[in-house]
Each structure stands twice: as structure tokens, then as C-alpha cells.
Structure 1
Amino acid sequence: MKLKLGLAVAAFAVAASGFAVANEDIIGLRKQAMKVNGQAAKVSVGMIKGEIPFNAEVAAAAMMLIADSSTEFVHLFPEGSETGDTKAGDAIWSDPDGFKAASKAAADAATAAATAAADGQEAFGAAFGAVGQACGACHEGYRKG
């Protein structure tokens, strides 16, 4: 998990720094970021369902990973990166303000869930529902297929 987190942080740093990156590279960074988010969500769901022992610190860290990723993710969609092997929907470029708002909603929900983790498994589970809704809304509006 630490390696994936490190890769995600490095990806965001490169993307945000303004270096020119080939489409397939930026698309690869986006895919890696989504995989990391997926792993964070998987661990969280496992704790909520009781399949993994609940750990408030791990739950909060997973949510902050999603929150940070959602905040920085919008920088991984420069003009011209809409072609290639990507599921990025056209609305990302035609409605950038909406995309940024959807990403912010996911970040805000994840931050709230991170805070709720300190109150235990039940509170975390309740707050995590909003994360799923926010992520789903973004995928529905801004992802192909």
C-alpha cells in the first residue's frame, strides 16, 4: 500500500508541475490513481463489513488518501488527453467546473469519513456511504461506460 501511495503522490506531483507528458503516460497516471482509490475503498468496506478488524487510523488514512487524490485528480486531465485508452468522459473537458465540483464533493465526503473513523466502525460506515455516493456521481457524470 505504501508503494502505491508513493506512486500516486509522485504521479500527482509530476502532473501538477506542468511537465509535458504523453497522453498514454497521463492516462496511466489516472488509472493508477483510481486503482489506489479502489484499494483504499476495498479496505474501508472490509472494515465496515467486519471482514477486516476495524482500525480507526487505517480507516482515516484510507479516506484521506481518497480525499487527497480527489483534490489532485482534476490536474490529470489536460487538454488533449481525452484520446487513447481512457474511460474519461467528454464532460470532463466540456464541463470542467462540474468535474471540479464533483471531485471536491468526493474529497469533502472522504474527509468527513476520515473524521468519523475516530468515532468507531458504525460512525465510519455511515459516513462512508456519502463517499460511495460522491464517487459514484462523479463516475456517472464524467466516465465513459
Structure 2
Amino acid sequence: MPDLTTAREELMAVAIGQLGELLDRMDTLAPNLDASRMELLITSTDLAKKVEAYSKRMDEITENAKLQTVKHIARRADEMARGTVETQTRAVEEAARMVFRNEVGPALQRVALPLQDVADLARKGARPWEGWLLHAATAVLASAISWGMAAWLWLR
């Protein structure tokens, strides 16, 4: 048997040879691993920047959505308030019409009739000399006729 007499020594030699190949492969793999690690760090940094930019953009979008929502809610609340005011105004006007028609109108009628009578009396009393003027005109006319007849009789 040659130098390597036992299977065990032969396996040890093969294992050492494979270990050498493995170490050679690891030596060639180390720069690739470093390059991959550097690319991974660069990608991680870029990703962090993009996530930060995305987060800022999402914050802007969220703020804009909040602002638009608040404006919409305010506009709808204003429209509803105006509609409510108009409805209440119409209801109050109708209630006022009903009150005047049913309660104030008849009371005014009861007060107005005697006042109209008083106004008529006041209009008549505003010119009391009209009645005396009529009596005076009648007296003057009767006197003139009497004088005229007396003169006519005397002259005859």
C-alpha cells in the first residue's frame, strides 16, 4: 500500500482538499458579500428617504383631506342652518298671521266700530257752525221774503 494506507487517511486528505477549496471560495465570496452589504445599506438608506418622503406626502394629503372635510362640513352646516332659519321664519310668519286672523282681528273689529262712531261724531262736531249756518240762512231768507211781501203789500 502506498503512502496513504488507510481509508481514514485518504478521507482526511480529501476533506483537507475540500476545506482548501471552501476557503478559496470564501475568499472570493467575501468581496461579493461586502459589495452586497454596501448595496443593501445604500438601498436601505434610499428606502428610508423614500419612506420619509412618502410619509410627508401622506401627511400633506391627510391634512388636505381634513381641510376639505372641515370645509364641506361647514358648508353643509351653513346650508342646513339657513334652511332651518327659513323654515322657522315661515312658521313664525304663519303663526303670526293665524294670531292676527283669529285673535287680534276680531278684537280690533270690536274696538274699531265704536271708534268709527266717535270719528263720525267728531267729524260732525268739527264744524258745528254748519247747523247754525243753515238756521241763519233760513231765518235770513224768511225775513227777506217777509220784507218783500210787506213792501209789496205796502206799495200796492
TM range (shorter): under 0.3
Q: So what's the TM-score if we normalise by structure 2?
A: 0.20
Q: So what's the TM-score if we normalise by structure 1?
A: 0.21
Q: Which has the higher contact order (CA 8 A, sep 6+)?
A: 1
Larger C-alpha radius of gyration, 1 or 2?
Answer: 2
Structure in which a larger fraction of residues adopt helix: 2
